[in-house]
Amino acid sequence: MTDMNANTQIPSPADAGASPVEAAARPPSPPAAARSEARWPFAFALTLTGLAGFLDAAAFVRFNHLYVSFMSGNSTHLGIAIADWAVPDLVAVLGVIAAFVAGAAVGTAVADHVGARLIGRVLALEAVLFAAALLASLASLSLPCVMIVALTMGIQNVLHQAVGGVDVGKGFVTGMLFRFGQSIARMAEAKLTWGTASTSLLNWLAFVGGAALGTLAIGALDFTACLVVALALVLAMLVVVPLRGR
């Protein structure tokens, strides 16, 4: 069994609607089974994006406007805390940002040395960290809990997939919308098809959808329950990924 490559270049999810000249220049379409396999990494990456949005919204509501994957928002929060000299906020925001950066470093080190089994190993590491965050939440250790989740989100970003030249699976919301705007301009000049342009839009919608679900979940339950959902999802992906790699 082999895991899929985390940086695999796969076709855009909706590359229909090309001009006759583009269609003629393209190689023959792959069989249906191959197209199904190509869609799998895209769905996997969108699930990661949705999970980031889910936890971001839950943490934002629970932990006084702290995010666990959206570091642009945390950077704004940090600037406000500096201006107000709100020391507790400064400590919390800096701790979360530092945890995310540490996660990015850990994830990159793993990606640079693991090779083909990257996805399974990173998902296993995520599961362990979510379990640790769950224990911290049960012990009412709020800041360690949110820092562990931010660490996990930093690690998770190494599992992005390249879809139609666009990175899918990261929680970089501003970048998603900027790329979508660029794609609209290039579509107008017939340099891109709608299928390629829609990749960034779908990635953004996955994040927004995850955030909506996270808001509903934190309103009805609590952050501990949200962590249980996240852990269950990661464990399910750990089961599915080897099966898809056969």
**Is 65 part of any domain?**
yes
Average the pLDDT over each of 21-35, 113-127, 170-184 and give the range with the smallest value. Answer: 21-35
Query: Does some domain include residue 8?
Result: no
Determine, yes or no, domain membership for 112. Answer: yes
∠ CA 100-55-117, nearest 5°, is 65
Buried b / exposed e along 16-33 (16+ C-beta atoms within 10 A): eebeeeeeeeeeeeeeee
**Residue 190, H or E segment:** none
In a domain, 16, yes or no: no
Q: What is the CATH number of the domain that holds 195?
A: 1.20.1250
- Whole-angstrom CA distances from 224 to 83, 113, 120, 136, 147 are 32, 33, 24, 9, 14
- Residue 78 within any structural domain of the chain: yes
* Domain region containing 196: 31-244
Per-residue buried b or exposed e for 185-199, using 16+ beta carbons within 10 Å of the residue's own CB: eebeeeebbbbbbbb
pLDDT band at residue 60 under the 50/70/90 scheme:
very high
User: What percentage of the chain has pLDDT greater than the value 70?
Assistant: 74
Within a 10 A sphere around the Cβ of 179, how many other Cβ atoms? 21
Cβ-proximal residues to 64 (8 Å cutoff; 6+ apart), any chain:
89, 92
Quote the number of domains for the chain. 1
Per-residue DSSP letter, 63: T
Give the pLDDT confidence of 225-237 residue by residue, as tens digits: 999 999 999 999 9
Residues 8, 41: contact at Cβ < 8 Å?
A: yes
Closest C-alpha among 38, 49, 47, 40 to residue 15: 38
**Residue 35 forms part of a structural domain:** yes
Residue 205: inside a domain: yes
**How far, in Å, CA of 214 to CA of 50, rounded?**
9
Residue 5 maps to a domain: no
DSSP assigned state of 65: S
Residue-wise pLDDT for 29-50, tens only, equals 445 444 444 467 788 888 999 9
